[in-house]
Amino acid sequence: MNIKKKDTVLVLSGKDKGRKGEVLRVYPDKDRVLISKVNIVTKHVKPRPPEPGGIQKREAPIHVSKVQLVCPKCEQAGRPKRGRLPEGERVRMCRNCGEVIL
């Protein structure tokens, strides 16, 4: 999976197409990511002792194939490539500008 927590991603398809957001959580076993302020759904929550119940709006996971990583330097979305640093460490690199994405 090329997407990690705290990455900025662009949504490619669906009702939130074209929106950017930060990855809050990654679910690699289900190939899904949770993105801030994207794919908002309403959920009916049963009351628990510290919290009241009711209808809440929250983010739902979206499939990883519907998002692309945005380079922090050139601000363009694209698939990252794998590169090696001189020390031999593998890193993600932007295909457009060649910058290392941490």
CATH number of the domain encompassing residue 7: 2.30.30.30
The pLDDT assigned to 1 comes to 83
In sequence order, what are the residues at sequence separation of 6 or more whose Cβ sits closer than 8 angstroms to the Cβ of residue 62?
Answer: 11, 14, 16, 32, 33, 34, 35, 38, 39
The answer on 75 and 57 residing in a single domain is no
**For the segment 7-43, what is each residue's pLDDT rounded down to a tens digit?**
999 999 999 999 999 999 999 999 999 999 999 999 9
The answer on 3 and 45 residing in a single domain is yes
**For the segment 43-97, what is each residue's pLDDT rounded down to a tens digit?**
999 999 999 999 999 999 999 999 999 999 999 999 999 999 999 999 999 999 9
The answer on 37 and 1 residing in a single domain is yes
The answer on 87 and 51 residing in a single domain is no
The answer on 56 and 100 residing in a single domain is no
In sequence order, what are the residues at sequence separation of 6 or more whose Cβ sits closer than 8 angstroms to the Cβ of residue 27?
Answer: 33, 34, 61
The answer on 9 and 43 residing in a single domain is yes
The answer on 87 and 75 residing in a single domain is yes
Q: Which range marks the domain in which residue 3 is found?
A: 1-70
| Res 102 pLDDT > 90 | no
